[in-house]
Amino acid sequence: MKEKIFVTKSSIPSIDEYMDEIRDIWESHHLTNMGIKHMEFERKLKKLLCVDNLELMVNGHMALEMTIQAFGFKPNSEVITTPYTFASTTHAIVRNNLKPVFCDIDEENFCIDSKKIESLITPNTVAILPVHVYGNICDIDVIDKIAKKYNLKVIYDAAHAFNEEYCGQNIATFGDASIFSFHATKVFNSIEGGVSCFKDLTLKDKIYSLKNFGIKDEETVRDIGANAKMNEFCAAMGLCNLRHLENEIEKRKNIFELYVDGLRDVKGLRINIPYSTVKSNYSYFPILFDEEKYGVDRDWMKKRLEEEGICARKYFYPITSKFDCYKNKFDINNTPIAQKVSESVLTIPLYSDLKEEVVYRIIKILRNPR
Ligand SMILES: *Cc1c(COP(=O)(O)O)cnc(C)c1O
């Protein structure tokens, strides 16, 4: 029986490195509530991401939810977003009592189609919430112009884009805010974790307060907050993994390039190559299947890979506007491209220590569907 190959595998430091990192926590008995590891992790992230303001969070979802909340939009206001994303993006809008307005995606890079945003703006629109899907970067310049023209906020779900650069500038610096996820399955992890980066310093107090029950000081509770603090053990894992980040991404790049070389000429398969303006983190390897040209469809190939012990993921399927929990709430026909892509996409295994022989095996299967 061959070893089962998952679509991703969490990066971890050596156990000794982690033990060394958590020793201070043991000695201090300070396990959470913005301790020394939390502070050090924030300091290092600020430097890496080239931002002045950020707040660590328990996960990427809460970073997004609380960042949206901090802007204080009027209930039922509209947020223009994409349905081609992880559940988190849409849920974060809805859980803030706001209304997602779904814009279709660009067929080429799977991000929100910036040409279609303007026609969706109404007097109730307050923000645009695009996603840098698979680490592909949205049309930042166009989105920025639209936002300025209509006085809208831009909040990027950058969960896939950690440590990337667009035109030589760190991706965390764009928009009014960007959030990242440090979930175990992401390029960079702190077991669970996330961060909110934002331009306006006056939001800092609010976001900090929201992640800690809205507590202002010993006797004042000012906001209806929740609990979204990152604990010291997660921060310690983040500190360890940060040391290996460049190396991890380099290893991913090698695998990514093997896939590109092996699959770029296959009729009926479309692969996703980063644009030259983007310094990629090589987070995912999505493939689009054109059944007519390729001979078999996405679902067939997913099963075929499974027979070989290889897990591939329909990421993203279904589009969020089709979720059961949103039944009859949205007109799913407004985003035909997102719908089409979600029905033909498969992301294949990609992680730093994926063995070359496995990569070649996957390429061989994909090159010979029958
Ligand atoms: C992972 C992810 C999130 C949520 O991050 P968590 O850390 O898992 O809460 C949000 N948006 C997108 C696009 C993601 O992939």
What is the model's pLDDT at position 54? 98
Dihedral (Cα; 98, 65, 252, 40), 10-degree rounding: 160
Average of per-residue pLDDT across 257-264: 98
Please list the helix, strand and coil fractions of the chain in percent, rounded to the nearest 5, in that order: 40, 15, 40
What is the model's pLDDT at position 3? 84
In the 8-state DSSP scheme, what is residue 184? T
Pocket test for ligand 1, best of 59, 88, 93 (most atoms within 8 A of CB): 88
Burial class (CB in 10 A: 0-12, 13-18, 19+), 60: buried
In this predicted model, what pLDDT tens digit does every residue of 308-332 receive, in sequence order? 999 999 999 999 999 999 999 998 8
CB atoms within 10 A of CB 331: 9
What is the 156 CA–ligand 1 centroid distance (Å)?
Answer: 12
What is the model's pLDDT at position 370? 78
Flag whether pLDDT at 167 surpasses 90.
yes
What is the 56 CA–ligand 1 centroid distance (Å)?
Answer: 14
Backbone φ, ψ for residue 67 (5° rounding): -65, -45
Flag whether pLDDT at 2 surpasses 90.
no
Q: For residues 319 and 342, is the Cβ–Cβ distance under 8 A?
A: yes
What is the 85 CA–ligand 1 centroid distance (Å)?
Answer: 9
What is the model's pLDDT at position 363? 98
What is the 265 CA–ligand 1 centroid distance (Å)?
Answer: 32
> Which residue's CA is minimally distant from atom 14 of ligand 1?
159
In this predicted model, what pLDDT tens digit does every residue of 268-307 receive, in sequence order? 999 999 999 999 999 999 999 999 999 999 999 999 999 9
Burial class (CB in 10 A: 0-12, 13-18, 19+), 161: buried
Rounded to the nearest 10 degrees, the angle between the axes of helix 232-243 and helix 15-28 is 140
Pocket test for ligand 1, best of 58, 62, 181, 342 (most atoms within 8 A of CB): 181
> Which residue's CA is minimally distant from atom 5 of ligand 1?
60
Mean pLDDT value across the chain: 97
Q: Is 132 in the pocket of ligand 1 (CB under 6 A)?
A: no
Whole-angstrom distance, CA of residue 149 vs CA of residue 166? 22
In this predicted model, what pLDDT tens digit does every residue of 137-159 receive, in sequence order? 999 999 999 999 999 999 999 99
Q: Is 67 in the pocket of ligand 1 (CB under 6 A)?
A: no
Average of per-residue pLDDT across 331-339: 95
In DSSP notation, 249-294 reads: HHHHHHHHHHHHHHHTT-TTEEE-PPPTTEE------EEEE-HHHH
What is the 86 CA–ligand 1 centroid distance (Å)?
Answer: 7
Q: Is 157 in the pocket of ligand 1 (CB under 6 A)?
A: yes
Ligand 1 atom with the smallest distance to the CA of 182 is: 7
Average of per-residue pLDDT across 329-353: 96
Whole-angstrom distance, CA of residue 325 vs CA of residue 78? 19
Q: Is 91 in the pocket of ligand 1 (CB under 6 A)?
A: no
Flag whether pLDDT at 110 surpasses 80.
yes
Ligand 1 atom with the smallest distance to the CA of 63 is: 9
